[in-house]
Amino acid sequence: MKPFSFSAIAIDCASLQNELRDMRAGGFASFEGWVRNHNEGHDVIKLEYEAFEALGIKEGERIVTEAINKFGVLRAACVHRVGELQIGDVAVWVGVSAVHRGEAFDACRYIIDAVKHRVPIWKKEHYVNGDSGWVNCEHCAAAGDALEQEHAHHHHR
Amino acid sequence: MNAAAPIYGLVLAGGASRRMHTDKAALQYDGQSQLQRAFTLLSKLCEKTFISVRKDQTGDAARAAFPQIVDIHEDIGPLAGIHAAQTQHPHAAWLIMACDLPFVDEGTLRYLSAQRDPSRAATAFRSTHDDLPEPLCAIWEPLSAAAVRNWIANNQKCPRKFLINADVTLLTQPQANALDNVNTPDEHLQALRAMNKNPIKLHVQYFALFREQAGKRNESMETVATSPALLYAELKQRYGFRLEMNQLKVAINNEFSDWHASLQTNDHVAFIPPVAGG
């Protein structure tokens, strides 16, 4: 299986787990990110994920390779959803098989944390009240406006 | 009367360039850094030419290859460079030029030196904006050195205020706006446009918030922007993007890239808003 991929259809966690089976493995750790019904005080009804897939696959593969080398695990993989997701859907799956449990947990944690920070994926939340917004972007844009105004004061020396 | 002092050149390139988000000295025009361009220009007119640097800049890649004059005072801005030059070569008159003046050409500088009056503290151009002296494209005579020293000793920093209070020959710029400086990617872009640079063709991809604000997933466009930083300044203006450059990453041809990489025709560029996977 590919170390990192995007999926436009529901993630089948059981069959992904099967692909990481290894006779040398003494354990398997996985992480599933689920769509929850609220975020930062808003009631969420559904999500949309959009990815820059060409770059996202490369960066995702780099992350999985880093985790395998850093923690010495046997196999690892990650699948991330794109498209429209409902409450309770699996948004991201990470699986790691390893000789011992410690490195399996560590590698799993490393992969999900790095994927959240580095892979170009964007999440749009749709709220019960009809609003929607790109997570991490709309706040930043507001901060950007404030920065711009501050800069305007010393535009020319 | 003694012969006029020889003219030495000093390029000022010590500024921190916060708004450009990069080292200003390294900004490119015609594939040449501004620093190199300014140095070459001054070398044509001056007996000797130096660049002004802070202590911590002497070894950096953009500056190491040039003859340098190191600031003696810290945190006082461009006047530190002028003072250090006057201290190191007290017999010389200094043609001072900031590196961020892309419109200053050989003609402008020849005019300045032809109109020079060595019996006064300095010869400078009048600003097109407010008629006050422009200190950073001017000839500072040796006889201004003592006053510069006192000025600094009195905790004054502003070279323009110094010239306002000094005995200075003021010239009208031979070409309007020749001394406009470039502080931001927007201004850099305007400078490239004004120089009639040949545009390159780029393919731009838009994702998420950018896709919605631009109203498209991708487009091919012609631009004079030579780096992602300049391209973003252009698109920000065109589509009203509100995110600032330092909140984004950029990719060229599906790989993360530096904001100041050099763009080539047919490159694919994508700006990456803050991500939110997981």
SS3 per residue for A39-65: ECCEEEEEEEEEECHHHHHHHHHHHHH
Nearest CB to A54; choose among B242, B249, B254: B254
Tell me whether residues B242 and A92 touch, CB distance under 8 A: no
Please report the pLDDT score of residue B277 as a whole number: 93
Nearest CB to A137; choose among B209, B254, B255: B209
Per-residue pLDDT band for A143 (boundaries 50, 70, 90) equals: low
Per-residue pLDDT band for B15 (boundaries 50, 70, 90) equals: low
User: Is the pLDDT assigned to residue A145 strictly greater than 70?
Assistant: no
Q: Cα angle at B193 between B128 and B239, to 5 degrees?
A: 105
Q: How would you classify residue B134: left for phi > 0, otherwise alpha for psi between -120 and 50, otherwise beta?
A: beta
B76-97 burial: b if 16+ Cβ within 10 Å, else e: bbbbbbbbbbbeebeebbbbbb
Tell me whether residues B207 and A120 touch, CB distance under 8 A: yes
Closest-CA distance, A40 to chain B, in angstroms, reads 14
How far is A66 from A70, CA to CA, in rounded Å? 6
Chain segment B58-107, per-residue pLDDT in tens: 888 888 899 999 999 988 889 999 999 999 999 999 999 998 888 888 88
Q: How far is CA B276 from CA A115, A135, A140, B153, in A?
A: 9, 6, 12, 53
Tell me whether residues B207 and A138 touch, CB distance under 8 A: no
Please report the pLDDT score of residue A148 as a whole number: 47
Q: What are phi and psi of B234, to 5 degrees?
A: -70, -45
Q: Are B140 and B82 in contact (CB under 8 A)?
A: yes
How far is A87 from A12, CA to CA, in rounded Å? 16
Per-residue pLDDT band for B14 (boundaries 50, 70, 90) equals: low
Nearest CB to B244; choose among A58, A115, A147: A147
Token pair for residue B184?
């931001």
Q: How far is CA A51 from CA A2, A60, A131, A140, B212, in A?
A: 17, 12, 21, 19, 14
DSSP string, B43-57: HHH-SEEEEEE-GGG
Nearest CB to B278; choose among A116, A147, A151: A116
Angle between helices A101-118 and A53-71 (to 10 degrees): 150
Does the beta carbon of B215 lie under 8 angstroms from any beta carbon of chain A? no
Q: Is B254 helix (H, G, I), strand (E, B) or coil?
A: coil
Does the beta carbon of B146 lie under 8 angstroms from any beta carbon of chain A? no
How far is B97 from B108, CA to CA, in rounded Å? 11
Q: Among A45-54, A136-145, B141-150, B230-239, name the one with the lowest average pLDDT.
A: A136-145
Nearest CB to B247; choose among A80, A144, A156: A144
Chain segment A26-74, per-residue pLDDT in tens: 999 999 999 999 988 899 999 999 999 999 999 999 999 999 999 999 9
Q: Are A35 and A82 in contact (CB under 8 A)?
A: no
Within 8 A of B211 by CB-CB distance, chain A residues are 50
Q: Is B66 helix (H, G, I), strand (E, B) or coil?
A: coil
Residue type, B133: P
Chain segment B162-189, per-residue pLDDT in tens: 999 999 999 998 877 788 888 788 888 8
Please report the pLDDT score of residue B18 as a whole number: 58
Q: Cα angle at B64 between B58 and B66, to 5 degrees?
A: 110
DSSP A150: H
Q: What order of strands is seen across the sheet that includes strand A75-81?
A: A4-7, A75-81, A90-98, A27-34
Q: Are B45 and B113 in contact (CB under 8 A)?
A: yes
Does the beta carbon of B240 lie under 8 angstroms from any beta carbon of chain A? no
Residues 6+ apart with CB under 8 A from B164: B132, B133
Chain segment B37-58, per-residue pLDDT in tens: 999 999 999 999 999 999 988 8
Please report the pLDDT score of residue A33 as a whole number: 97
Chain segment B206-241, per-residue pLDDT in tens: 999 999 999 999 999 999 888 899 899 999 999 999
Does the beta carbon of B256 lie under 8 angstroms from any beta carbon of chain A? yes
Q: How far is CA A153 from CA A147, A156, B180, in A?
A: 11, 8, 18
Output B23 or A135, whichever has higher pLDDT: A135
- Residue ranges of the alpha helices (H) in B115-242? 145-153, 159-164, 185-194, 208-214, 228-239
Please report the pLDDT score of residue B119 as a whole number: 95
Within 8 A of A112 by CB-CB distance, chain B residues are 278
Cα B221 to chain centroid distance, Å, stands at 27
Does the beta carbon of B127 lie under 8 angstroms from any beta carbon of chain A? no
